[in-house]
Amino acid sequence: KMIGATDPKEASPGTIRGDFALSKGENVIHASDSEEKARREMSIFFREEEILELKA
């Protein structure tokens, strides 16, 4: 809810994309749509020992 819909035209005001994004291609922020994809994407930028597990 904080990030907003991928398409800024569909993102609610008060969300990051709703307030700041210009287009679907320039939507300001990236968010993975699953934990599996997030882990794969993090591995591109970080070594395993640089990633911390946070428990809510």
Cα–Cα dist 27/31, whole Å? 11
- Phi/psi at 40 (5° precision): -65, -45
Q: Is the pLDDT of residue 1 over 90?
A: no
Q: What is the pTM of this model?
A: 0.69
pLDDT at res. 54:
86
Q: How many domains does the chain have?
A: 1
Does 30 qualify as catalytic in the annotation?
A: yes
pLDDT at res. 56:
78
CATH code of the domain containing 21: 3.30.70.141
Task: Give the residue numbers spanning the domain of 48.
Answer: 1-56
Model pLDDT for residues 21-55, shown as the tens digit of each residue = 999 999 999 999 899 999 999 999 999 999 998 88
Catalytic residue among 23, 25, 30, 44: 30
